[in-house]
Amino acid sequence: MTRRLPQTPSQTLGPFYSIGLRGAHWPFAVPAGTPGAVWLRGRLLDGAGDPVPDGIIETWQADPGGRFDHPDDPRGAQPPEVPGFRGFARSETLDGEWAIHTVKPGRVPDGNGGLQAPHVDVTVLARGLLDRVVTRLYFGDEAEANAGDPVLRALDEAARATLVARPVADGYRLDIVLQGAGETVFFRV
């Protein structure tokens, strides 16, 4: 006689997803004490405006000179201007809050002979998402560069506002809203 066991409940990301995602160094794209470093902070919110306490925010960005130490940089890989700059950081959204310690990126080519405004690419992973969602963080004190950015120009004013972080005392702040009123603009990648 074959005995059937009850089906194990499914999990979107699995019970071991947090292994390798926790570590005191992950929120730091640059070492603590780096001159000119800033904090990028915000909240990850669901459609009801409630904090998402178990998400992950990952960032990828150019160095202050607008370069990547990566072979896909169209100008060729180049070591970063800032010692210890990784270009990548990750933050858990404990209590819905996230924070990344980094330097402000420089402008990168837009592929059409122009330059994009300084920005940070942001990946969001959270409960209920079967795949990551991707957005950008632009800087509120870069009005001239933002006005010429091809991505921001393609959006209406309300949508643009969901991507622009406001300056605060120790850096910049941007809340990311997964759906509903004030939903952050996400990109197909």
What domains lie within the chain, and their CATH numbers? 38-177 (2.60.130.10)
In the structure, what pLDDT confidence band is assigned to residue 76 with cuts at 50, 70 and 90?
confident
Q: Residue 131 burial by CB count (10 A; 0-12/13-18/19+): exposed, middle or buried?
A: exposed
Answer whether 170's CB lies under 8 Å from 38's CB.
yes
Question: What is the C-alpha to C-alpha distance for residues 47 and 185, in angstroms, rounded to an integer?
Answer: 14
In the structure, what pLDDT confidence band is assigned to residue 50 with cuts at 50, 70 and 90?
very high
In the structure, what pLDDT confidence band is assigned to residue 21 with cuts at 50, 70 and 90?
low
Please determine, for residue 9, whether its predicted confidence score (pLDDT) is greater than 80: no
Q: What is the mean pLDDT of residues 54-60?
A: 94
Please determine, for residue 87, whether its predicted confidence score (pLDDT) is greater than 80: yes
104-139 tens-digit pLDDT: 999 999 989 999 999 999 999 988 777 899 999 999
Please determine, for residue 19, whether its predicted confidence score (pLDDT) is greater than 60: no
Q: What is the pLDDT of residue 24?
A: 72
pTM: 0.88
Q: What is the pLDDT of residue 10?
A: 47
Please determine, for residue 163, whether its predicted confidence score (pLDDT) is greater than 50: yes
